[in-house]
Structure 1
């Protein structure tokens, strides 16, 4: 047995025997385990005590009785009022059942006391389990309730003749192709792909036009045509060549964010590829365990990109930058998790993280993530930490002229995240539904395609925003490119409010804090990743267009 909890609050779970169910006569089971991912996800495996042997039919058997006093009746009534479901496992196959039901008037409450298990097997492996709840008994105080069960094993020739389920395909019945492979899903991918074509064409036109004019003006010394003169390039972005490679403000924080964003992107890419190959949804907590392992293993990526950028910007406190970069994301995640953990402890929920698990996570941060980040930082500083800008930086900063309101960095930042959010909007709905509702997300090919589309759209949008900003002779492009791409997270978090109030029936302090707390973590991580992607693409663009600028 695993957990029990309200149907509409999927994350609010409690131990199965927190309700006054009784245990069967058998005392032990051969094996079951809990990994780090299972512990963090609130898996609470407990042996049911039901004596089930492979291929042995069991007729309806009473295995225990419940003395229904007032306290136990009130516990069951509360569970039925809140539509409590429970989860159990047979050979790692999940089964869900409902605790009971109320009559139409809501005055009488009934408990399901008879579990009928139908277990299908192929060869010597269990491939299918179905649970039927029967035996509806009215909850009356000071009475005795008998709990019973029976299990029926259907042979391959009779039960499995139609499906012929293979052991590696036994989780297919839990998937929902009609939901995840709906034509709306395909249409959203196609729509995002068309957006990519448009933006790539726009950026290509800008790049080709600027380079063409560079060669025309500086190499061939030809006069500009009227169109180029009207567009104003001779007084635009080329005038800030002496300031465009000036270090960003707050370079320590900026480089730490870039390094963390690159690491999140690497983790996302690797985990999606592994999920496409290994079908991680078939094992409890495997997705979270894989993500933690990959995050720790990719810590050198964080150190390399963050450390090298900080060195190129002239930073001297590289040890402090390394610590901030290493613990930026873990501190955010652990801080949120520990805050929610206090609420989970107050509710006695299974989501409360055990102390041993907290210690294990802290050990991973200090003894794995930090040393690997140090290695990456040293490599980054030594291999690519020297500034090699195509234009020299002026000693005195150039004054930034006044410009129209829509060219201000704050406006560009707010508008920059709209198109990237539009490219992933539909996919966010499927991801939210799989995490906050009873759906198993398995279309990781779609997720990979959406990740690629998001990267391309983000880079193209930030390039366009930076181009217009530089044309207005504003050289503060580093933070602007990062924040304009990171603003995608703001729209994702705003969408999470809409999803909570209009697409779910969640309620209560625990579920609300859990939802908005972890959605804030998800949105922030997504924003840091998009910001790093936008900055890296824009940095390559800026370096490219200024390479051909010749200064006398």
Structure 2
């Protein structure tokens, strides 16, 4: 009955997180939309992003053309967390109606507005538009191979000239190239491609400006070319925005319209080879470690159980202390809480990978990955409470309520604290990543009214069960630990133990960080799932090996070491982020650097709990297994 209640609450929580009233969230494009000739086609604008600052800003925070009334389109929780702010635009598009040199608007910018545009152009901000849930893209073609065409989402707001003193120019003329696929009916079709070609042109005209003014630089007899004088923006002045619209029939079906956006980059083959090479190396190393360990253990157990051999040496001598609960400030309470939180993250990761591999997390569903991340973490709280309480009871703890409360608060509280500081930085910069007050209330409600009750329920179920008993009796007094060699000190074993798990993922980590911080698409979830499996095996084996060496040295204090051995790989993750920041990013703004390292700190904490818990649980099973095989009087 208790299990059924947990399952029911988990399902209800997941439904509450993912479900929404009809029309409440912006998810067009997940179902086909049929257009007829001359039907209006809506273009939405999204945030402006920059890989140089990592701080997205609202589209209309700059002096760009806006409709008379800007209408916001609702986004999902994941969309808000990723900074999406989708709004209406001033562009007037009609299905399959060609258009040339349409004037969007004329802006006369003040000096401050012009300098603001120039600053954002220098910071390499990118414009993000959406038509029928397809992002605007620019095409990059290989001059040596015409078939090698790549699509990059978004297009630059402007560019810096190559003069001795660079000048910021804005792309104020956009050529729309929209592709459609004709369906069964002659006059019905679906949009399958959205490409833009940006130009910068200093428009000229005669006389005073009016709505009927004809441009000398853009008219039916004079198309825009790249040889025209570019439009500078620094210092303010007049900027006229224009556009062309070209419709083209395509053989691409609606179901495959995202394939072009997800096409691999130029180094895709290197990426695949590097991952495969890493997997083979890690499998070889872990296989060798497992083989050596199994052979050594088999020999040890055979010698120990030999009735003619009464000489007890090595790890058998500490059978009366090996299950002695940890003590001190970081005692059974904190260890059980951290392992419980790690199990919650592990369950969330497994479920997330299953959904990703099955294709449930479609790129058409904006913010779907972030929404699934939050939702799955919330509903996995019951596993955290159950595991934490079971370990705490095994350590002879009595305050299960305090244990459950810490499990529900410790990890989420630390992440929320860091996120709150980063949110204040983003809020001061007017970024779309800054969470609105309503979103913060919604996340707090998920935490306190869904996640925390599930943790408490799981903890109650775990604590009411019989305690996990040690396989050998614990002595009243602890045995004296002999002097340990330097290479078995806690710091050395932790640092050495973290190298192998980090080595299993560092190549994949590069591509994931590039996807996050350089806005490159990442879709190889099958390889990622394989790497995560290899990571789990590596964490388990390296923790077991280090624990075995420690037990052979007659040191029974293995509880925390087994956690830190594999969990220390988080130190290498954070260290790698420093190297990545210095070599791959061009960030000089303190706020942007704070955002980067704050996020990487949260990632490192998460990775520490996840890998540490895998190592601890594997070592616990190993210790119980080997001491359960020996004969003890």
TM norm structure 2 = 0.80
Aligned partner of 2:238 in structure 1 is 144
Of the structure 1 ranges 87-96 and 183-192, higher mean CA displacement relative to structure 2 is found in 183-192
Aligned partner of 1:282 in structure 2 is 364
**What does 1:211-250 correspond to in 2, within 5 Å?**
211-218=298-305, 220-223=306-309, 234-249=312-327, 250=331
- For the residues of structure 1 that align with 2:101 and 2:70, how far apart are their CA atoms? 22
1:283-303: per-residue Cα shift (whole Å, max 9, x none)? Answer: 211100001111111111111
Note the aligned Cα RMSD (angstroms).
Answer: 2.0
Aligned partner of 2:294 in structure 1 is 207
**What does 1:3-18 correspond to in 2, within 5 Å?**
3-9=47-53, 11-18=54-61
**1:510 aligns to what SS in structure 2?**
helix
**2:85 aligns to what SS in structure 1?**
coil
Of the structure 1 ranges 182-191 and 511-520, higher mean CA displacement relative to structure 2 is found in 182-191
Aligned partner of 2:556 in structure 1 is 475
Alpha carbons of 1:75 and 1:270: their partners in 2 closer, same or farther (altered >3 Å)? same
* 8 A Cα contact 1:83 1:98, kept in partner: yes
* 8 A Cα contact 1:24 1:64, kept in partner: no
1:70-121: per-residue Cα shift (whole Å, max 9, x none)? Answer: 2222122222222222111111112212222233233543222111111111
**1:400 aligns to what SS in structure 2?**
coil
**2:86 aligns to what SS in structure 1?**
coil
1:146-174: per-residue Cα shift (whole Å, max 9, x none)? Answer: 2112222212xxxx2xxx22222222222
Of the structure 1 ranges 89-98 and 467-476, higher mean CA displacement relative to structure 2 is found in 89-98
Matched, 1:197 2:284: yes
Decide which of 368, 373, 391 is 2:450's aligned counterpart: 368
Alpha carbons of 1:97 and 1:368: their partners in 2 closer, same or farther (altered >3 Å)? same
* 8 A Cα contact 1:176 1:439, kept in partner: no
- For the residues of structure 2 that align with 1:78 and 1:217, how far apart are their CA atoms? 74
Aligned partner of 2:261 in structure 1 is 174
- For the residues of structure 1 that align with 2:122 and 2:479, how far apart are their CA atoms? 68
Matched, 1:319 2:423: no
**2:96 aligns to what SS in structure 1?**
coil
The Cα shift of 1:261 comes to 0.7
Decide which of 160, 168, 172 is 1:113's aligned counterpart: 172
* 8 A Cα contact 1:310 1:318, kept in partner: yes
Matched, 1:61 2:119: no
- For the residues of structure 2 that align with 1:490 and 1:7, how far apart are their CA atoms? 25
Decide which of 122, 129, 139 is 2:194's aligned counterpart: 129
Aligned partner of 1:353 in structure 2 is 435
Q: How many residues align?
A: 532
- For the residues of structure 2 that align with 1:28 and 1:503, how far apart are their CA atoms? 37
The Cα shift of 1:202 comes to 2.7
**1:379 aligns to what SS in structure 2?**
helix
The Cα shift of 1:195 comes to 2.7
- For the residues of structure 1 that align with 2:301 and 2:114, how far apart are their CA atoms? 82
Aligned partner of 1:497 in structure 2 is 578
The Cα shift of 1:387 comes to 2.9
- For the residues of structure 2 that align with 1:476 and 1:142, how far apart are their CA atoms? 69
Stretches of structure 1 that go unaligned for 5 or more consecutive residues are: 225-232
- For the residues of structure 1 that align with 2:454 and 2:236, how far apart are their CA atoms? 62
Alpha carbons of 1:408 and 1:434: their partners in 2 closer, same or farther (altered >3 Å)? same
1:440-459: per-residue Cα shift (whole Å, max 9, x none)? Answer: 11000111110011111111
- For the residues of structure 1 that align with 2:482 and 2:313, how far apart are their CA atoms? 12
- For the residues of structure 2 that align with 1:480 and 1:368, how far apart are their CA atoms? 33
Of the structure 1 ranges 36-45 and 531-540, higher mean CA displacement relative to structure 2 is found in 36-45
Decide which of 87, 90, 98 is 2:156's aligned counterpart: 98
* 8 A Cα contact 2:571 2:604, kept in partner: yes
Alpha carbons of 1:386 and 1:109: their partners in 2 closer, same or farther (altered >3 Å)? closer
Aligned partner of 1:80 in structure 2 is 121
Aligned partner of 1:407 in structure 2 is 488
**1:353 aligns to what SS in structure 2?**
coil
- For the residues of structure 1 that align with 2:300 and 2:124, how far apart are their CA atoms? 68
- For the residues of structure 1 that align with 2:167 and 2:515, how far apart are their CA atoms? 34
Alpha carbons of 1:33 and 1:57: their partners in 2 closer, same or farther (altered >3 Å)? farther
TM norm structure 1 = 0.92
Aligned partner of 2:87 in structure 1 is 46
- For the residues of structure 2 that align with 1:142 and 1:440, how far apart are their CA atoms? 36
**2:172 aligns to what SS in structure 1?**
strand
- For the residues of structure 1 that align with 2:198 and 2:131, how far apart are their CA atoms? 16
1:414-455: per-residue Cα shift (whole Å, max 9, x none)? Answer: 211011111111111111111111211100011111001111
* 8 A Cα contact 1:215 1:548, kept in partner: no
Stretches of structure 2 that go unaligned for 5 or more consecutive residues are: 1-44, 137-153, 184-188, 203-230
1:173-198: per-residue Cα shift (whole Å, max 9, x none)? Answer: 22242457423533443333333333
Of the structure 1 ranges 328-337 and 438-447, higher mean CA displacement relative to structure 2 is found in 328-337
**1:172 aligns to what SS in structure 2?**
coil
Alpha carbons of 1:5 and 1:434: their partners in 2 closer, same or farther (altered >3 Å)? closer
**Greater helix percent: which structure?**
1
* 8 A Cα contact 2:304 2:630, kept in partner: no
- For the residues of structure 2 that align with 1:358 and 1:398, how far apart are their CA atoms? 52
**1:22 aligns to what SS in structure 2?**
coil
Aligned partner of 1:229 in structure 2 is none
Of the structure 1 ranges 493-502 and 58-67, higher mean CA displacement relative to structure 2 is found in 58-67
